[in-house]
Structure 1
Amino acid sequence: MRISKYFPVAFIYFFINSLGLPFGLTYTALLSPLLYIWVVMVRKRDVLWPFLLALTPVMLIHLSMGVDVNSYFISLVNMVLVYIFCQAVYAFLIKCDHKEIIFRQLLIINFICCLIAIPLFFTPYYDLLWAKQFLTTGVYDFRRLCLLTYEPSYYALLFTPLFFFFLLQLLFYRNTINGWLLLVMLLLPLVLSFSLGVISAIIAAILVTATVHYKTFLRNKRFMNLVGLAGMVVIAAGVVGLIFFPDNILFVRISNVISGKDPSGKGRTFEAFWLAGQLLEKKSYWWGIGPGQIKILGFDLIRDYYGYGYDTTHVAIPNAAAETLAIFGWVGLVVRIGVECFFFVYTKVWRNYYRLLLFTFIFIYQFTGSFITNVAEYVVWIIAFTPVFREFDNPGN
């Protein structure tokens, strides 16, 4: 098997980025100085000063309003490190000619890890690869796959670019892995992570992409067969579940979501925006409260609202869009959405099936989870806006 020179960093990013490190710190952040030097060498120009220049007026506004300086600049440095990693990802995408090989190696290793995790689930050492969490009202200490990441939904988000890439390979007869085995390799991680937010956004992205390119997908035999198979499996599983297992975890979660009794779903969506609004009242609706200030101004509010214990040391708003609103105000949120829409049009995302799937997925997901320095989210955005996966271009555009 050919090993790319880029594979070690890809492996670190996907599997062990936060392993053994304090919360919030990653190995990609620690590697940022080296990545910055590499980006400058590849791009032949400095990429950092425009970002710092754009941050300067916002920083001056925040400082003039008053902030906890230590927390502010620590968070600001973290944002800069995330930005450098994002530039490295973009440079990798335009420089590497064998991205598919790296994707396939990650997929295979991930599948092997899933197979190892399954028997481990039934042992006292399950917590090495599984997280035991509160899931929804009535379901406590539920085990979900996270491998060596810190959280199951983050692991599912990491996996999404691989899922879409190899799903399209399968649909367009480009797969080099047996079709049924590939389906298992794609579905098993999502099922075991039980991240309904990620899975729902994936389904929505597939529906939007299939609708936009309906002529292509309606004529695609594999796509129609998979849709039919998925429909039959869902119906059969639903009937069996209703008759024999009416109190199963999935039904309980869906029932709680519909009835408004699911604190996890509410906490990651509209309640996150309510919390952001409460924080904006303390500083500025236009410019927000500033980086690093959520834990200063909102610690007690968020801890008490979500019912965290008094031994809690870290709080956050579990929604990237809502966190952007809290930190940078309505100006920041409008700029965020505006930049996304601009690059959607500028890079003609709709002309490529893979990029449209990723864009639709992450555009939806940012309103249901994630956080403002989530490198996994930015990797999805960067792939969506970088026109390098030409094999998935719509030939009619």
Structure 2
Amino acid sequence: MRINKFFPVIFIYFFINSLGLPFGLTYTALLSPLLYLWMLMTRKQEVLWPFLVVLIPIVLIHLALGVDENSYFISLLNIVLVYIFCQAAYTFFIKCEHPGRLFQPLLIINFICSLVAIPLFFTPLAPVFWMKQFLTTGIEDFWRLSLLTYEPSYYALLFTPLFFFFLLQLLFYRNTINSWLLIVMLLLPLILSFSLGVLSAIVMAILITIILHYKKIVRNKRFLNLVGVTGVIAIMGLVAGFIFFPENILFVRLANVITGKDPSGKGRTFEAFWLADQLLAQKSYWWGIGPGQIKILGFELIRDFYGYGLETTRVAIPNAAAETLAIFGWVGFSLRILTECILFVYTKVWRNYFCLLLFVFVFIYQFTGSFITNIAEYVIWIMAFVPVFKEYDVVKGNGQ
């Protein structure tokens, strides 16, 4: 079988982007010079200099406010490299014919890796594919699937576009993989990663999409069948869990979230904005503290607030929207949200099921996790605003 010329880079991005590298460094960042040259040859236009011109006044303001220059310019370089990758991803989606054909190999490889990870869980090699983390109050050490990524939630975020893409294939009778096998391939990675933030945003994206297009979607027989089967299985599972396993991990986590005893959930949502506000008070509410300054100005604050040990060497605000607020102030935060809303209207996201699912998901998720240089999040934004998967256009009558 002929390998698509884009697949090697996509494979690196999805499976091994940070494997063996120091934290924060990725292979896509190292490939940025090549990606930049490829964009110049492919699109025949400059894409970097306009971005740098926009950055210059912001940089001058931050320098005038005072920053640790070493950390500032290293982080600024990282932002530029992320921008280059995002432009490369955009170029890929507008230039590649049938990009969806690359999704199935990713799904199959990912499923095989997930199956391999299950027996490895019971061996000393478990840390290769699994990560032990604090989950919630009462559950200190919990193993979650991360494959070769740096963190389970990031892995779940990477997988989300594949989940939506093949879910729509299933609903609109476009799947070439057996339906029941496809369901297992979609649910197994998300369940094993146990990222409730990602799962919650997925559920909300599906519900909002159904509400907006219910007249078309409810006429889809397969959709009704899936809802019925899913509902029965979910109810049976919840009843069985409540009766036979009342202290299971899911129930403990949900109970902690409802009662406000879940430090992970609080730390990734409203507490992240409180931390951002504390940092803004040290510099400028309008312009923020600047890239790379969270670890300088907020190290002790964040370490003590989250109860990290004295051996901690790295801290962050675990929320992309709150981190944007801290780094670029209310100006940057407002521009972020305004840009998302403008692009939503300009690209008519609601006209495509896939784009709408992705937009709603990532719009919600940015307030519950992620970070400002998360390329997996930006790829989702790009796919939401570039409707290359025309087979899921609402105007074509899908769902009838």
Separation of aligned partners in 2, 1:222 and 1:196: 26
Separation of aligned partners in 2, 1:153 and 1:396: 34
Separation of aligned partners in 2, 1:8 and 1:144: 27
Separation of aligned partners in 2, 1:85 and 1:237: 42
User: 1:274 corresponds to which residue?
Assistant: 274
Amino acid across the alignment from 1:197: G
Separation of aligned partners in 1, 2:314 and 2:168: 39
1:40 counterpart SS class: helix
Gaps of 5+ in 1: none
Q: CA offset at residue 280 of structure 1?
A: 0.3
User: 2:344 corresponds to which residue?
Assistant: 344
For structure 1, which segment, 9-18 or 218-227, has the greater mean C-alpha deviation from structure 2 after superposition?
218-227
After superposition, where does 1:1-397 map in structure 2 within 5 Å?
1-395=1-395
Separation of aligned partners in 2, 1:33 and 1:310: 38
Answer whether contact 2:157 2:377 (CA < 8 A) is retained: yes
Q: Percent identity?
A: 75
Q: CA offset at residue 2 of structure 1?
A: 3.2
Distance 1:79 1:86, change over 3 A: same
| Deviation readout 1:52-98 (Å, 9 max, x if unpaired) | 11111111100000000010000000000000000000000011113
Amino acid across the alignment from 1:34: L
| Deviation readout 1:11-43 (Å, 9 max, x if unpaired) | 000000000000000000000000000011111
| Deviation readout 1:345-385 (Å, 9 max, x if unpaired) | 00000000000000000000000000000000000000000
| Deviation readout 1:224-250 (Å, 9 max, x if unpaired) | 111111111111011101111000000
Separation of aligned partners in 1, 2:2 and 2:113: 20
| Deviation readout 1:237-277 (Å, 9 max, x if unpaired) | 11101111000000000000000000000000000000000
Separation of aligned partners in 2, 1:85 and 1:298: 28
Separation of aligned partners in 2, 1:371 and 1:213: 31
Q: How many residues align?
A: 397
Amino acid across the alignment from 1:29: A
Amino acid across the alignment from 1:118: I
Q: CA offset at residue 309 of structure 1?
A: 1.0
| Deviation readout 1:176-196 (Å, 9 max, x if unpaired) | 111100000000000000000
Distance 1:155 1:28, change over 3 A: same
Amino acid across the alignment from 1:59: V
Separation of aligned partners in 1, 2:113 and 2:333: 38
Separation of aligned partners in 1, 2:317 and 2:209: 30
TM value normalised by structure 2 = 0.98
Amino acid across the alignment from 1:263: P
Separation of aligned partners in 1, 2:214 and 2:115: 36
Separation of aligned partners in 2, 1:396 and 1:172: 12
Q: CA offset at residue 215 of structure 1?
A: 1.2
Separation of aligned partners in 2, 1:396 and 1:77: 43
Separation of aligned partners in 1, 2:396 and 2:194: 37
1:131 counterpart SS class: strand
Separation of aligned partners in 1, 2:98 and 2:313: 43
Separation of aligned partners in 1, 2:119 and 2:217: 38
Amino acid across the alignment from 1:42: T
Q: CA offset at residue 396 of structure 1?
A: 6.0
Amino acid across the alignment from 1:347: T
Separation of aligned partners in 1, 2:118 and 2:172: 31
Q: CA offset at residue 388 of structure 1?
A: 1.0
Gaps of 5+ in 2: none
Separation of aligned partners in 1, 2:146 and 2:98: 28
Separation of aligned partners in 2, 1:284 and 1:360: 31
| Structure 1 stretches of 4+ moved >4 Å | none
| Deviation readout 1:307-343 (Å, 9 max, x if unpaired) | 1111111100000000000000001100000000010
Answer whether contact 2:100 2:389 (CA < 8 A) is retained: no
Amino acid across the alignment from 1:48: L
